[in-house]
Amino acid sequence: MTIDVLLQWLRGPVFWAGLAFLVLGLGRHVAITLWGIVRTWNRAGDKTIPVRQVVRASLGWMFLTQGLKNRLLFGLNTLIFHIAVILVPIFLAGHIALWKQSLGFGWPALPNGLSTALTIIAVIAAVTIVIQRIVFKASRKLSRFQDFAMPLIVAIPFATGFLVMHPAWNPFSHQFMLFLHVMSGDLLLFLIPLTKISHMVLLPGTQIISELAWHFPPESGRRVGEALGKANEPI
């Protein structure tokens, strides 16, 4: 099987299977999160949802203001990484052209120079995130293998895409690098619902559950005291 045939396979059946897996997988996560919200709301003593607090917390984590407050370098690097990873795949002119070819419509693209800059930033930021998680003791203790591997896996489509668009920097054949680019992009479609990357659609729901979970059911304090054998003891 030649690389050209493999490319057709990756761009066709594998891509559409990956896209379907992405949509269905994230849809499943959203459904489970919504069910969790309903269950938590039913069990909460105070059923008031603090909308402003949920929105503020969600935006804070989305734009990483917590990280910017606590560790400026790490938070800023992660913020830049998220921006580049979201914008480039959606607004790259070459990707939009492929969507237009398949669906018959497209949308405005980023300027080529900006796309190139964001691609380079995504790769550098991904490597920097891994280095920071290794160097800082607190991050190293909290991180799992996935936390080290995923930024580098995400960086592969960006690095290979850059080499595809800049042949002078490419030490391999154009077709081989294009194959790696498409294959790594397809792989991400399958990995997103299975890894922590899925937080991009689950964050608001988890914030609602977190806020409601702190609204303890009525009489919960008394029941905890009874369970600990300390009923009626002063606090």
CB atoms within 10 A of CB 53: 13
Question: What pTM value is reported for the model?
Answer: 0.75
- Token pair 């988890």 is found at 206
Please provide the DSSP assignment of the chain as one string: --HHHHHHHIIIIIHHHHHHHHHHHHHHHHHHHHHHHHHHHHH-SS----HHHHHHHHHHHHTTHHHHHH-HHHHHHHHHHHHHHHHHHHH-HHHHHHHHHHHS-------HHHHHHHHHHHHHHHHHHHHHHHHSHHHHHH--HHHHHHHHHHHHHHHHHHHHH-GGG-SS-HHHHHHHHHHHHHHHHHHGGGSGGGHHHHHHHHHHHHHHHTSPPTTHHHHHHHHTT-TT---
* Residue 137: partners with Cβ closer than 8 Å, 6 or more residues away: none
Question: What confidence score (pLDDT) does residue 1 get?
Answer: 62
Question: What confidence score (pLDDT) does residue 82 get?
Answer: 82
Question: What confidence score (pLDDT) does residue 159 get?
Answer: 95
Query: What's the rounded Cα separation, in Å, for the pair 105 and 229?
Result: 67
Question: What confidence score (pLDDT) does residue 212 get?
Answer: 57
Q: What is the pLDDT along the chain (235 residues), one digit of tens a residue?
A: 677 788 888 888 998 999 999 999 888 887 887 787 777 767 766 666 666 766 666 566 555 555 445 566 777 777 788 888 888 988 998 888 888 888 888 889 899 999 999 999 999 999 998 888 888 777 778 788 888 888 899 999 999 999 999 988 998 888 999 999 999 999 999 998 888 777 766 665 565 555 555 555 555 555 656 666 665 655 5
